Amino acid sequence: MTLAGKTILMSGGSRGIGLAIALRAAADGANVAMLAKTDTPHPKLAGTIHTAADEIRAAGGNALAIVGDVRSDEDIASAVEQARAEFGGIDIVVNNASVIDLSGTLDLGPKKYDLMQDVNVRGTFMLSRAALPLLQQAENPHILSLSPPLNLDPKWLGAHTGYTLAKYGMTMATLGMAAEFAKAGVAANTLWPATTVATAAVQNLLGGDKVMAASRTAAVYADAAYAVLTKPAAEYTGQSLIAEDVLRGEGVTDFSGYAAVPGTPDSELRPDIFLD
């Protein structure tokens, strides 16, 4: 199974992991509709929804750049309708948009807390919800959320409680839909990397150049997402997956090619948060 002719509706995706997943799908000739706010260049972050769409087309796919906010019900409804009108339906939803703030409880402002809840949890729920009528008509429908397994170790519950709530909320929404729509044949899974991934968020929020050098590239996430999205939906659902484990299941034994700094041994890579 490939993603040729499949239509993906993705939140975010102007850069980083979301764009890597989109480009991997585009190599098969997939259609990618992206709902994102990055209409104009950011002073510190490369890429807009329009440059991402150009890259998707160059990689062999079709792209639909939808400028909007996953916090807006109207924008979500419009994105679903635009994807249907342009490509005839929706086969896959990728909940990629996410806000990160690792502040402790007393340092996390109410507005940032609300933003993480609105984008991470509500956005995941509402985008998936809006697409479900079309997903149920698709041949092999998948929902994939980029969120971690539910690790209730106090180490992670207490590390950054506001962010933990938001990311675990994404996972709970996804696993809930997996159970609710299993009989309808809609798969819903989460995916998280074993190590940090070299993205702007890691550069700016998790430790700068030192952590970037101890990370893997976004390709590890993209290749794992591809493997998940090409599985039979009726059989592969309700799981909190780790990218490297997915790839091992596909026969990958050498991960050296994913190192952000070539030659970095696996033993020197930094485990991602939420993983023991």
pLDDT tens, the chain, 276 aa long = 899 999 999 999 999 999 999 999 999 999 999 999 998 887 777 789 999 999 999 999 999 999 999 999 999 999 999 999 999 999 999 999 999 999 999 999 999 999 999 999 999 999 999 999 999 999 999 999 999 999 999 999 999 999 999 999 999 999 999 999 999 999 999 999 999 998 877 766 666 778 888 999 999 999 999 999 999 999 999 999 999 999 999 999 999 999 999 999 999 999 999 998
Residues labelled catalytic: 163
Structure tokens, 204: 């700016």
| Domain annotation for the chain: domains and CATH numbers | 7-268 (3.40.50.720)
- What does pTM read for this prediction? 0.96
Q: Which helix (H) or strand (E) holds 192?
A: strand 187-192
Judge whether 4 and 25 are in contact, CB under 8 Å. no
Residue 132 CA to its chain's centroid (Å): 17
Torsion of CA 200, 201, 204, 206, to 10 degrees: -130
CB 210 within 8 A of CB 269: no
Which amino acid would we find at residue 136?
Q
Phi (first) and psi of residue 213, to 5 degrees: -70, -20
Question: What type of residue sits at position 124?
Answer: T
Task: With H, G, I as helix, E, B as strand and everything else as coil, classify residue 240.
Answer: strand
Tell me if residue 248 falls in helix, strand or coil: helix
Q: What is the dihedral of CA 36, 37, 40, 45, to 10 degrees?
A: -80
Please give the angle made by the CA atoms of 181, 80 and 115, to the nearest 5 degrees.
Answer: 85
